[in-house]
Amino acid sequence: MRINLDKFVNNKCEWLRGEGPKSNIVVSTRVRVARNLDGHVFFNWADEKQKEKVLDVVKKAIKRSQFLKNMIFIDMKDTTELDRQFLIERHLMSHDHAQDVTYKGLTFDDKEIVSIMINEEDHIRLQVMQSGFNLMEAWRIVDDIDTDLSHYLTFSYSNKYGYLTSCPTNTGTGLRASVMLHLAALVITDQIENVYKAISKLGLTMRGFFGEGTEAFGDFFQISNQVALGHSEMDIIDNLEKVINKIIEKEEVTRDMLKVKKNGEMADRISRSYGTLKSAKIITSRETIRLLSDVRLGIDLGFITDINMKTINDILLLMQPAHLQEINHSPIGPRERDIKRADLIKEKLNT
């Protein structure tokens, strides 16, 4: 049965509302845990009957959980390739989950704070996303749901290694925490390479706006822990929080410097970017992200006062290829998407 995702296009994602601690620099926070069911073969080694059994067992547990009432459930076999790309763009699921979709499920709440992938690399990938710098709050929600699900499911666990997962880097806590940052000032002043080198030494990794395996462009970066084994949940959260706070502080200082020392130059750059977005007739997604980065910086520096962060965040979401096609109610090619993207941006910025 074909599902209809049109109604979700204008759904207000919690993680993009442009509010929360340090939301001028931190776009969103995500905390995710990986879990597998004891007594069940891991997904990558399971046969069809075993995969189907896990999907059914997890679905029933989700329905019983006090924290997961009224969740939206999608059987991945009922989705099209466009549907799956749309769900990836909303950060509700991974690229891996879009492959070989039989016996896979996805469930999420209407605010898109909580989402659970069933039968991705692991039986359960539970994630929570929040707007702004909200690591502890996101972890608290994940921990509550994880604890509640453990009343109905028995997870694979080793007294020696912790939670057992398909990938060794997730074994232990099964926890991956990440923060999406807008580091425009550090990019402009050629300091971002130093950030990358520093976090690599601290067991962290940096990815692009669209997650694992993607290039970081438009000055947006996801920073997350690499390894869960040998560290407690609080160790991972605390370490990431400390590092992110230092990066935020460096970005803030650099933004202040740009405003004072390069006021005219920055004002001109931001004005040109804003003008292009408001007048372009054809624009690619890559150029859009680059220009939106300038405008987002301009809002924080006080050079732009007639729009807010939420509007920019909305455009970042809606300008993506699958979203443009869902808005169009049918697949369209790259050139037509570039035209539709320009129209959408003008509409959002000129209202």
The pTM of this model reads 0.92
pLDDT at site 218 = 65
157 CB neighbour count, 10 Å cutoff:
15
User: What burial class does residue 219 get, using C-beta atoms within 10 Å of its C-beta: 0-12 exposed, 13-18 middle, 19+ buried?
Assistant: buried
* Residues written for the chain: 351
Angle at the Cα of 12 (from 10 to 17), degrees rounded to 5? 135
pLDDT at site 215 = 54
- Digit-by-digit pLDDT tens for the chain (351 residues) are 456 676 777 777 888 888 899 999 999 999 999 999 999 999 999 999 999 999 999 999 999 999 998 899 999 999 999 999 999 999 999 999 999 999 999 999 989 999 999 999 999 999 999 999 999 999 999 999 999 999 999 999 999 999 999 988 888 999 999 999 999 999 999 999 999 999 988 888 888 765 554 455 569 999 999 876 778 899 999 999 999 999 999 999 999 999 988 888 999 999 999 999 999 999 999 999 999 999 999 999 999 999 999 899 999 999 999 999 999 888 999 999 999 999 999 999 986
- Between CA 59 and CA 76 the distance in angstroms is 13
What three-state secondary structure class fits 73?
Answer: strand
3-state secondary structure 98-121: HCCCCCCEEEECCCCCEEEEECCC
pLDDT at site 214 = 47
φ, ψ at 5 (rounded to 5°): -100, 0
pLDDT at site 2 = 56
- Between CA 172 and CA 185 the distance in angstroms is 36
What does the block give as tokens for 77? 């076999």
pLDDT at site 254 = 96
